[in-house]
Amino acid sequence: MISNNSNTTNTSEYRDYLQKKQSPDQSQDNLQDNSLASMSTSTKKDTTSKEDISCSLPKSWVYSENFFKRAFGILGHFIVAYMILLIIAGAIGFVFKAIIT
């Protein structure tokens, strides 16, 4: 767990770093506002829920919580990919056999 002393030290170090990087036309108040805003966005907790993530994923068994659904989903994708490659290889073989004979 992070103690308050180390958090205060990190904040002061961050503020010192930003002051060193400050451009001549930027005021001190603007720098402090920017540093506080960036610190608050970087320390926010991840609040994405499981429902939000599941809405963005495709509807496929590969993303299911059930192990067997995931396994059969991956097996199904493998079989489909294998069939596509087999059809392509068969077509190429058929063309070569037709050319040779």
Can you read off the two tokens belonging to residue 57?
């994923």
- Which residues 6+ apart lie within 8 Å of 19 measured at CB? 31
The DSSP-derived string for 19-47 is: HHT--TTS-HHHHHHHHHHHHHHHT----
Choose between 90 and 24: higher pLDDT: 90
CB atoms within 10 A of CB 79: 10
What percent helix, strand, coil does the chain show, rounded to 5? 75, 0, 25
If you count them, how many residues does the chain have? 101
Work out how many domains the chain is built from and give that number.
Answer: 2
66/55 Cα distance (integer angstroms): 17
In a domain, 55, yes or no: no
User: Which residues span the domain enclosing 32?
Assistant: 1-41
In a domain, 51, yes or no: no
pLDDT given for residue 56 in this prediction? 73
Q: Do 36 and 4 share a domain, yes or no?
A: yes
CB atoms within 10 A of CB 11: 13
Q: Which whole number is the average pLDDT over 5-31?
A: 66
pLDDT digits (tens, 9 = 90+) for 37-92: 565 555 555 566 766 766 777 788 888 888 999 999 999 999 999 999 999 999 99
In a domain, 25, yes or no: yes
